[in-house]
Amino acid sequence: MDPYDETLANKSTQERRLWGEQVLKQLKQSFDLVHDEFIFLASKTYYEALLPHLNHFWLPLVGKTQGQWIPELRRLIELEREPDRSKALHMLFNGLPRLDWTMINDIPYKNGIYVMFEAGESFHGMDRIVRVGTHRGENRLLKRLKDHFMGDNAHRSILRKNIGRAFLHRGSAPYLRVREIDMQYSANRRKYGHLVDDDMETNLEARISRYLRENITFICFLVSG
């Protein structure tokens, strides 16, 4: 598109704004700015004036250096052509920045979905997805992740509860029957509270936390409320 021998990098803020207005005018002639989705394969300089006027857009190169653009585009093209949707999802999620439990407070949004991977689990040469989760309340993504990795109550995290079940089942521990009782209910605490072994609970919860922190990594993506 003309003029192809110019760049916005050395233009003033005013010039960039006028350029954005001209591009929006041209887009309106062929597209629906409210309902159509736009994909930007360019630096922030070229889309910052346009995004406020678009409802649906994708920035697949954000966070990538210019030298990473071509490899990333090749990866996305390969993903798009993959007929096995399960494999495609693994390709997509394996390509996103990986987090661990020490990075929960660095997540810049409060609502979203997390996808977990477990050390030693693989799928077509990639890390296998072992859990996909979200949260019920508004703005509780970080709290939900902390319930998994830092909590000490399996009744607030089904993930912790299942790992505890696995540990007790592997050892054929009779205490598994006690762990299946939901002590969050006062009636159950009155009826079965005397069966709770505090030392057993403390040691088991510590073992669960240690396993999660050493073996589980995850990715997150924003879901608007």
pLDDT per residue of the chain (225 residues) written in tens, 0 to 9: 666 788 898 899 999 999 999 999 999 999 999 999 999 999 999 999 999 999 999 898 888 899 999 998 998 899 899 999 999 999 999 988 899 999 999 999 999 999 999 999 999 999 999 999 999 889 999 999 999 999 877 667 889 999 999 999 887 788 888 888 888 889 988 998 888 888 988 899 999 999 999 999 999 998 875
Angle at 217 between CA 211 and CA 223, to 5 degrees: 130
With CA atoms as reference, report the closest residue to 196 among 208, 209, 182.
182
CA dist., res. 158 & res. 154, Å (int): 7
DSSP three-state, residue 46: helix
DSSP three-state, residue 121: strand
In the block, tokens 């709290």 appear at 143
- Tell me the C-alpha to C-alpha distance, in Å, between residue 88 and each of 16, 93, 199, 223: 37, 9, 45, 20
pTM to 2 decimal places: 0.72
| Residues 223, 110 contacting (CB under 8 angstroms) | no
For residue 153, list its beta bridge partners: none
CA dist., res. 168 & res. 203, Å (int): 12
CA dist., res. 104 & res. 53, Å (int): 32
- Residue 60: φ, ψ to 5°: -70, -15
For 47, the token pair is 């889309």
With CA atoms as reference, report the closest residue to 88 among 136, 129, 37.
129
